Structure 1
Amino acid sequence: VTLKAKHKVLRKVKEHHRKKRKEARKEGKTGRSKVEKDPGIPNEWPFKEQELKNLEVRRAMAIKEQEDKKEARRERARKRKLGIPDDEDMANDNDAAEETAALAVPKTNDHSERAFYKELVKVIEASDVILEVLDARDPLGTRCVDMEKMVRKADPTKRIVLLLNKIDLVPKESVEKWLSYLREELPTVAFKCNTQEQRTKLGWKSSKLDKTSNIPQSSDCLGAENLIKLLKNYSRSHELKLAITVGIVGLPNVGKSSLINSLKRSRVVNVGSTPGVTRSMQEVQLDKKVKLLDCPGVVMLRSASSGVSVALRNCKRVEKMEDVITPVKEILGLCPQEKLLSLYKVPSFTSVDDFLQKLATLRGKLKKGGIVDVEAAAKIVIHDWNEGKVPYFTLPPKRDAVEDANAVIITEDGSEFNVDEIYKAESSYISGLKSMEEFSHIEIPANAPPEIDEAMLEVFLAASVVFL
């Protein structure tokens, strides 16, 4: 741009700004905003002198407070220079120690578990028949005897039926022994939930099967006809009742929601392999004579023995576990080393730490700086155990003399449910299961039944009083 053109532009801009300022003065507008001054206290106000004195006092106090703070900062600096501990520093250290101690103490009062437990109370109170679902791999470890005693104590007219679920995951001999063991106390039926992925038209396997049927490879439901017939037998035995309500209870991940979907032959409730999918009681009308109540699984174990038991029963999310090494140590004590070597493709190991370090290195589980993440490897092993990648089964223990004396064969319940007919029909498809020689499972000792915590027991009794 030439200088002539440049100065011409600057002159035009200057004239434009001058014109704008002239127009603004004519309209009474200026670019600068006037700041309104504080008018102060009116002279005619009768309390002016008193307010001025109070203002002086407040100013003097503010000045004195600032001087005190400056003096305190100088004193703290002097003490730090001489190495003398300050009172404020000691108080901050005490507060930090208290916060650390509070974080170190585990929280035993889990409000979510209490909420789930209250939902369990609602289901029990609203049900005529309690259907307790057990995992066929460890029926004794997933059966809550304390809850059964509480149900009988609260209302002796309620009937309890045991359902042995996931029979396709264990050998035939184990299923037969567990059925005979459990039927000495309560009516028990065998069941296999449907594993199909579609939303509706879930398949059923007829109870009239031959021994050549390959049940473990089938995704259809097994035992649904017998279970519905058993419930309707109870409904017919009570002529005054037009319909019965069946509450489905049990520990997390034993298959309660999958059982409802299998009976309904459609996905009416959500299912999942992680604990806490079912959050509240859900009603499902099976037909005009049977109504099902789905209940959230509740961790009812005592705090003294709940660490490893909760982890190996899939009752708690692995991400929320504080200690993941101890359950892996228990798994390594139950499984033969050859089984773990073939499953995880790791070299021979001598201890739990050695196994987890080799597994973490093989799976690429590393922290910042190339440090091996042992906890991530432990979570992998616990996930595999809960999902059945480490196949196992248990056999029922032998009853001693005390248990034989306390075991009650409930003939009244058997006549109400007409169990003889159900047991005969069920033997046909149990014989189609794989035998122990065809399985590569490992046998582990049966776990002890979970015990209800005293705090949860108080919640149950208080809720029972409210409902009654």
Structure 2
Amino acid sequence: MKRPKLKKASKRLSCSKRYKIQRKVREHHRKLRKEAKKKGVGKRVKKDPGVPSSAPFKEEVLREAEQRKLQIEEEKERQRQAKKEERAKKRKKEETESNETGPKVKKARKDDAAKKQAAANKSSKQFLCAELNKVIDASDVIIEVLDARDPLGSRCPELEEAVLQREGNKKILLLLNKIDLVPKENVAKWVEFLQKEFPVVAFKASTLIQDKTVKAKKSRIVASNDILDRSRGVACFGSSCLTDLLMNFVTKTENETKLKVGIVGFPNVGKSSLINSLKGVLACNAGVKRGMTKSMQEVHISKTVKLIDSPGIVASPSNPPASMALRSLQVEEGQDSVLEAAQTLIKQCDKTQVMLQYNVPDYRNSLEFLTMLAKKRGFLQKGGVPDTQQAAAIFLSDWTGAKLSYHCKVPGKHTPPAYLTDAVVTEMQNGWNLKKLKTGNEETLKGVKFPNPASSISFISKGPTSGVLRVSEEQPSAATAAEEKQSDEAVDSNEAVENPEKTPQSKKPKKVQFQSSALEVNLTATSTDDAYDFNAHFK
């Protein structure tokens, strides 16, 4: 049977579908109203229809409305004039007060400027060198703190020579700090090597020393305090050996006054941490950031011993780039970038050991290593670009702080520098109980937990780092220094031509004076290219 044709499709809907459509429409309108409310679009203001023409007394109503409008405008104008007069009176009063208190304000501004200038001068090289010389002059015993990971690189020949030239028969002690970051065999070899010149103390400072108030609060909780004291960071080794050594020296010298012990060394070798460990509380500020100690600070350890903290030794610009990256403050001062310092250190390390330490795959250059380290640590910039600057900062903080384990090989042949004669060495050894020192170092090496030699990175040392002990207030720029050098060479050449027998004995005095002496130390490194040439830096 043939189906009949339908004229139009039916518009009938089921109730559920119709209700659903109505609900959707309501939600849509609600959403539009909400967005309009957020944008600040309100309903249209209805227009005032005015007075209809058919209303009685229309003219009178319009006249009254106009008068009311004029009254409102006059009231607003009066308020505006009153505010202007009030502001003028206030300004006049402030001018009179400023005229009366003008000198006081100027004096306060001058004081603020002087304070800012003093704070800026404290971080200058002139101030740091002056404070270091004050510590040397005020001390009876100088403890030169060395980083056990690079003991030779953290030694300053200029400092040792300056101490030996001072009056008062000052003694020098070498202290190997951070021995827990170096393999045990390497520490024992360095102690034996350095003992041929000065007495050496092996030390491991405590990195979790707390303030007095925090310590008093935590001492109430016995259980947690016991657990904290047993941790590796709180443990300190070598403090009893050092204190006994100083006490015995005081009794032998029979000095009535207190023994003043100056703590000196390059930045980040652990000078302030050493004082805090001996004191038992947070007496000096210590941290990974270099140059935290700006001036000398006296800390009383006992009735007979007083320690003097000092700022870090300023490294000479003539040092190799690797030494400058580890020992100088150029990164903090903005003279050198963190990326350049990190790349310099990466070039001095064994690639396979660096890969194992940071768990990264093989890399072609230092920039690729920092890129992979940034990806591994999650240091990403906008768009997923690796932040190599942050990775370099982390790498540099690992090397300068007490975290990363690396070590340097001990030279095979010992050749003392020129200023250390046999008489000076015997004089430095006198007065100390060397037998007790040896037993104390052995006990320290037994108690410390050393890293595995396979997990420690071998680092190529560049030899002793030359330091600056005296810096003039006015330093010449690079251009002026080059011009002076060229003029001096021209004058010398002219004199040589005119008078061939006459040699130039006197030259223009330099404004930056380095106290240095010719040193002869033979370092045996893994390759002959990395051997340290003292004649190139100590002239």
TM-score (norm 2): 0.59
The aligned counterpart of 1:122 is: 134
Alignment of 1:260-275 (within 5 A): 260-275=275-290
Question: Map of 1:22-171 to 2, 5 A cutoff?
Answer: 112-155=124-167, 157-171=169-183
The question of whether the paired residues in 2 share the 8 Å contact of 1:171 and 1:433 is answered with no
CA offsets per residue over residues 240-261 of structure 1, 9 Å max, x none? 4331111111101111111111
Whether the aligned pair in 2 keeps the contact of 1:129 and 1:161 (CA below 8 Å) is: yes
Is the contact between residue 252 and residue 314 of structure 1 (CA under 8 Å) also seen in structure 2? Answer: yes
Give aligned-pair identity as a percent: 37
Q: Deviations over 1:197-237 (max 9, x none)?
A: 432469xxxxxxxxxxxx99362221112211211222222
- Residue 418 to residue 346, structure 1, CA distance change in 2 (3 Å): closer
Q: Deviations over 1:260-306 (max 9, x none)?
A: 11111111111111111111111111122111111011222x21225
1:149 partner SS: helix
Partner Cα distance (1:145, 1:402) in 2: 11
> In terms of mean alpha carbon deviation, does 138-147 or 400-409 score higher?
400-409
Cα distance 1:138–1:197, how it changes in 2: closer, same or farther (>3 A)?
A: same
Q: Is the CA contact 1:181–1:396 (under 8 Å) kept in the aligned structure 2?
A: yes
Matched, 1:340 2:396: no
**How far did 1:311 drift?**
1.3
Which residue of 177, 181, 189 corresponds with 1:177? 189
| Superposition deviation, residue 20 in structure 1 | 12
Number of the residue aligned with 1:451:
466
**What SS does the aligned partner of 1:232 have?**
helix
SS at match of 1:173: helix
8 Å CA contact 2:350, 2:458 repeated in 1: no
Q: Is the 8 A contact 1:113 1:298 kept in 2?
A: no
- Matches of 1:363 and 1:401 in 2, distance apart? 44
Shift in Å, 1:374:
4.0
1:76-103 per-position Cα deviation (integer Å, ceiling 9, x unaligned) = xxxxxxxxxxxxxxxxxxxxxxxxxxxx
Supply the AA of the counterpart residue of 2:64. Answer: K
Shift in Å, 1:437: 4.9
Within 5 A, what are the aligned runs for 1:195-210? 195-200=207-212
After TM superposition, the score normalised by the length of structure 1 is 0.67
Summarize the alignment of residues 68-467 of structure 1 with structure 2, pairs less than 5 Å apart: 112-155=124-167, 157-200=169-212, 217=232, 219-300=234-315, 302-313=316-327, 315-317=329-331, 320-363=334-377, 365=379, 373-387=387-401, 389-400=403-414, 408=422, 410-434=425-449, 437=452, 440-453=455-468, 456=471
Instruction: Output the CA distance in 2 between the equivalents of 1:151 and 1:330.
Output: 32
Partner of 2:112: none
CA 1:405–1:306: 2 relative to 1, 3 Å = closer
Gaps of 5+ in 2: 1-47, 52-57, 86-120, 217-229, 473-510, 516-539
Give the CA deviation at 1:372.
5.3
Q: 1:315/1:165 Cα in 2 relative to 1: closer, same or farther (>3 Å)? A: farther
Cα 1:18–1:180 change in 2 (3 A) is closer
Q: Aligned residue pairs: how many?
A: 367
Work out the CA distance in 2 between the residues paired with 1:19 and 1:219: 76
Query: Could you say which structure has the greater relative contact order, defined with CA pairs below 8 angstroms and 6 or more residues apart?
Result: 1
CA, structure 1 residues 237+446, in 2 after alignment: closer, same or farther (shift >3 Å)?
same
Relative to 1, partners in 2 of residues 1:322 and 1:398: Cα closer, same or farther, differing over 3 Å? same
Residue 11 of structure 1, aligned match among 67, 88, 97: 67
Cα RMSD, aligned residues only: 4.0
Runs of at least 5 residues in structure 1 that lack an aligned partner in the other structure: 24-28, 34-108, 203-214, 463-468
Q: Distance in 2 between matches of 1:399 and 1:449?
A: 16
**Distance of 1:437 and 1:222 partners within structure 2:** 19
1:344-399 C-alpha deviation (Å, 9 max, x unpaired) = 44433222333334444555556677765544443333233323554211232123
